[in-house]
A and B are shown apart, each in its own frame.
Chain A
Amino acid sequence: MSSRSEILGAIQALEKREIHHPGDFKSYKATQDLVGDFKNSLSIVGAICIEAENKQKAEARLSEIYPDLLRYTSHDVVTNGLELEAVDVLEIDGLFGVAENGAIWLSDQFLPNRVAPFICQHLVIYVAKSEIVATLHEAYERLDGHYADFALFLSGPSKTADIEQSLVIGAHGARSLTIILT
């Protein structure tokens, strides 16, 4: 007998228990100030946040934050076949943000490749102020029926506290994260 049928057989041999799924969960209070809460969460998770009406306006601030580094867009990476390790700053688009935890939904449909947001040294993500939801419940509500081959919630720069619980930013992924709210 295969292990598959052995395992499923062992489960099916158990007494049937009727326990219903509790249904979808509704968060208690929708936040009134989505952008304000989102910005607050970003500061808690260690991300830098810039408000800019458009990409041109963001330009100046980005040059201040990353003065000596070359910045690339997804388009650069795809068309020029860049060695990803060589990418200092990568600018990408996020689909939407989550106010309660500063997470941004990134889908591989909009990434140059899957490893890009992890392997670059610094990451910049554009998110529209109109695209912020209150909690993860609203986030999955919004994602209902939209599937990606690979996608993630990203919240803050890579971090670890594995040595004596001292927080260190920049473990394996990006050393800094800048969110540009347009």
Chain B
Amino acid sequence: MLNHAEASEKFIEDAERTTWHDETLWFVRSKRDKVSKLLPEWEALREQASLIKDHTLANLGQYLIEFESNAQKNGIKVHWAKDAQEHNEIVHSIISKHGGKALVKSKSMLTEECHLNEFLTKKGVEVVDTDLGERIVQFRNEVPSHIVLPAIHLKKEDVGETFHEFLGTPKGNKDPQFLTEAARQHLRGYFLGANVAITGVNFAVAETGEFVVCTNEGNADMGAHLAKVHIACMGIEKMIPKRKDLGVFLRLLARSATGQLITTYSSHFAKPRKGQEMHIILVDNGRTRQLARDEFRNSLKCIRCAACFNTCPVYRRSGGHSYHQPVAGPIGSILAPNFDKSANVDLPFASTLCGSCSNVCPVKINIHEQLWFWRQDLMKDGLAPLGKSLSMKGMAFMFSNPTIFKMAGYMGRLVMRFAPFIVNNSFNPWFKQREMPEAPKESFQSWYKNRK
């Protein structure tokens, strides 16, 4: 597997596509700016959302119990899964009972995190992703590159080719309207025939035991209302205390995500319909571990709007796949080390720490500060080889010039301590595409001495 820097280098090789990717996502950020500035209370809303989430996380156990009890009263079957494996097994056992061979699934980053599709496919169940972007990447045997815009790494020509191959659309037709219509027709059949529908959950309300699912396409509702069984999968951090809190989050979510005023559909599921079975799976999968860490706890406030992706100058120029995780971008980079430190050691370093991510975050997660904290944590754990290469390359730049190298004894000692091989290594990545600064005749300190 390529690390972020290597994968980015490949992505950037196609300069034109990189420009397109950057500009397209910047446009989404601009739309977000525009609508957020129309609300005089925008910053107060962010603060409110942040406080509600802080409060919820501090009382998570109590709210989970309250939610469970109310959901059960509503006739929803509640399951608990401590990890991805258990989550997948619960889903499979429900499907097995109903003899379904195919199921329709709307967007759920949790199921991506748990690699549910892979698991079910191995068990002989056909999973049909019904979000257009997710269906496109599913055909291509890829993973989403963005949590809100799953196929943003692709051009319409790519989609045209994929649909020609899988849906028999005319070769060369790349009209988004035409291709979307083809997907609509193709997926309608699955909606009408599926026994089981899986959806994600945007918010679960402890007070009422209901959960809210937001989409623009209507695919979650088409699936859930036609299938005999509805399974909703959620991380335990999706909890909010009260129904009125939804007003705060629904005002922030779509505005932050796409610059819309609200998603087309914000569906509130409280009870199964007559004759339907409704299940909800509450998944931990590392969340309680994150909850215990002071520096990283508030990453659990995330509502998956992807505003931090769209604003991130690194993400826009490296593409989602360079993060090699279901959730890419700045938020993905602070979530991933919780799952596997050594596999994701590169991600907290895939940032200039510019801080734009924290500024757009609707729940005020201090993303760029957490990136910094993860760097400390991972290096403390001695996570080579990236750590080694980091110090090597980083220090190599700083010390490749003899003027700098001679500068101070303590720095020299630092180099010797972290990267002794540097002194003899002439490789300098700065110089590849940039000129080195010119070394002046004398340093400031020596000028200053003479001045006196």
Contact = CB atoms under 8 A, between A and B. Distances in A.
Q: Is B one of A's binding partners? A: yes
A166 B156 contact: yes
Nearest to B209: A147
Contact of B65 (A8, A100, A119, A151): A8
Contact of B60 (A11, A139, A158): A11
Interface in B254-271: 258, 260-271
Contacts of B243: 140, 143-144
A20 B51 CA distance: 8
Interface residues of B, number: 88
A137 interface: yes
B198 interface: no
A163 B261 contact: no
Contact of A164 (B24, B61, B282, B284): B24
Contacts of B184: 170-172
Interface in A86-110: 98, 100-103, 108
A118 B191 CA distance: 12
A22 B264 contact: no
* Chain A interface main SS type: loop
Interface in A124-169: 135-137, 139-141, 143-144, 147-166, 168
Interface string B259-296: 01111111111110100000000101000110110000
A7 interface: yes
A127 B371 CA distance: 48
A79 interface: no
B340 interface: no
A147 B341 CA distance: 44
Contact of B27 (A20, A28, A165): A165
A98 B183 CA distance: 31
B314 to A, nearest CB: 20
Interface residues of A, number: 70
Contacts, number: 230
Contacts of A65: none
Nearest to A22: B51
Interface-central residue, B218, B251, B284, B292, by most chain A CB under 10 Å? B218
A108 B87 CA distance: 30
Interface in B48-66: 48, 51-52, 54-55, 58-61, 64-65
B98 interface: no
A162 B151 contact: yes
Nearest to B242: A21
A45 interface: yes
Contact of B221 (A24, A143, A153, A173): A173
A118 B27 CA distance: 29
A2 interface: yes
A64 interface: no
A18 interface: yes
Contact of B82 (A6, A135, A139): A6
A164 B271 contact: no
Given A115-B222, A144-B243, A162-B150, A22 B80 contact: no
Interface of B: 24, 27-28, 39-41, 44-45, 48, 51-52, 54-55, 58-61, 64-65, 74, 80-82, 86, 130-133, 136, 149-152, 154-156, 159, 176-177, 179-181, 183-184, 187-188, 191-192, 208, 210, 216-219, 221-222, 225-226, 236, 241-244, 246-248, 250-251, 258, 260-271, 273, 282, 284, 288-289, 291-292
